[in-house]
Chain A
Amino acid sequence: MSGHSNDNVSSEELWGGGRSPYGISYGKMYMWFFLVSDALTFSGLLTAYGFSRAASEDAWPIGEQVFRALPGLEGQYPLVYVALMTFILIVSSVTMVLAVEAGHRNDKRGVVRWMLATIIGGVFFLGSQAWEWSHFIHGGGGSFLLATEVTITADNGKEYVLPVGEPIFMDHHFGEIAEAYSNGDASVNLHEHHGHVTLTQYGEHTHEAELHQLTIHKYIEDEQVISGDDIYALWEARSESFTFGANMHENEYATQQSYANFFFFITGFHGFHVFSGVVINFIIFIMAYRGVFERRKHYEMVEKVGLYWHFIDLVWVFVFTFYYLI
């Protein structure tokens, strides 16, 4: 492998000119320098995220609660989808390192095959991220803020005083109709009867949803269930406006907009790196396929794009921990 060819040269001779003290070509070296600067950018973003979170006085949403859906499936699977995305990226990193290894054996077929696998992995990751963005933007069930202070009792007997402005999260089935209701859709009627809240949407098909479940951050943290009476009390104390999904101005997951903005910026910036990585990988794939590197007698370009691709995986490992996990 690279770097071993003149390990025994004395340092005077090595730095005296005419030799490469770093034992690395300028292309690879500058890819490394670029990656260091890029790593600082991502570190800055994640530090800013951690700082905003530490400086926030309101409860900060947790990854297991926000990211728990799987495409086409009902139910809750906390962080499974993100873990799957991580796995896809790790696997595509592995196929990349196998392409580099094949390059060291001047195995053109191996390089082409593994580069193709890497590109497919990258495209899958981008698709997964598109789905996750879509899910984040459309949201779960929506949320509303409290207009008055409410005291509720948890099933462990603990009392919680929820202040004005505390976000309350609605269940998905209820939230869908609540969105139409909050938009002033005249076909949606609200019934409150014996402590039961029902929204009915009349039309070609009649949709009806009863309010069964509300969630609050403090309960999420302690894994408590809100009783029926308290659900009704919370609903009664709601302010006028609801929030559904997330955009650049508001989000249903948190009172702090910086939570959604950091999601869009950090995963978006990383996603753009993945996109450009797929494009660069594709160019190198075509070059390898057409035998450019075979004529050049070395596959160092594969190593260089490999460095970039592994870096994308490296960044995701940190995003996964600091944005989703902690």
Chain B
Amino acid sequence: MERDDLIVNDSYPLNAHHSEEEGVKIRKNIIFVTVLLTVITAVEVAMGVIFKRDETFSWEMIKWTFVTLTLVKAGYIVMSFMHLGEERSVMKKTILIPYLVFIVYLVFIAITEGFGHLYNLTNFH
């Protein structure tokens, strides 16, 4: 049965083939990313166990290290595993920019306005 929902022309290769040699290269990259993700996770757990959680400067640094490492992991998953790195740049922007705008706004509003209910609002009447 011919499917009319699949427009197979040169606009986008649905049957994006690659050869056996290219496959070997791609698989090598997959294994590299796997090892990287595993090592980062192991390092994170080790850091969590080793360092104390007193409210000092060093724990703040470790927290930010966790966030940075997480963003590195997320970047590799999205760009390599989900192949977003190989999509056209307009596609990348269509996906990433709306998400980043919304989430930066959400975090900003939670940090700046979110604690309003904790203040004594009777002063404003």
Contact = CB atoms under 8 A, between A and B. Distances in A.
Contact of B23 (A6, A7, A105): A105
A183 B37 CA distance: 47
Interface in A33-72: 33, 36, 39-40, 43-44, 47-48, 50-51, 54-55, 62-64
Nearest to B118: A55
Interface of B: 3, 5-7, 10-20, 23, 26-27, 30-31, 33-34, 37-38, 41-42, 44-45, 48-49, 52-54, 63, 66-67, 69-70, 73-74, 77-78, 80-83, 86-88, 90-91, 94-95, 98-99, 102-103, 106-107, 110, 114-115, 118
A11 to B, nearest CB: 9
Nearest to B44: A325
B91 A24 contact: yes
B87 A90 contact: no
A32 B99 CA distance: 11
Contacts of B87: 2-3, 22-24
Contacts of A3: 12, 86-88, 91
A80 B11 CA distance: 47
Contacts of A94: 30-31, 33-34, 81
B54 A222 contact: yes
B106 A47 contact: yes
A19 B37 CA distance: 38
A285 B98 CA distance: 33
Given A64-B48, A90-B38, A310-B81, A105 B53 contact: no
B30 A98 contact: yes
Interface of A: 1-7, 19-26, 29, 32-33, 36, 39-40, 43-44, 47-48, 50-51, 54-55, 62-64, 78-80, 83, 86-87, 90-91, 93-94, 96-98, 100-101, 104-106, 221-223, 296-298, 300, 303, 306-307, 310-311, 313-314, 317-318, 320-321, 325-326
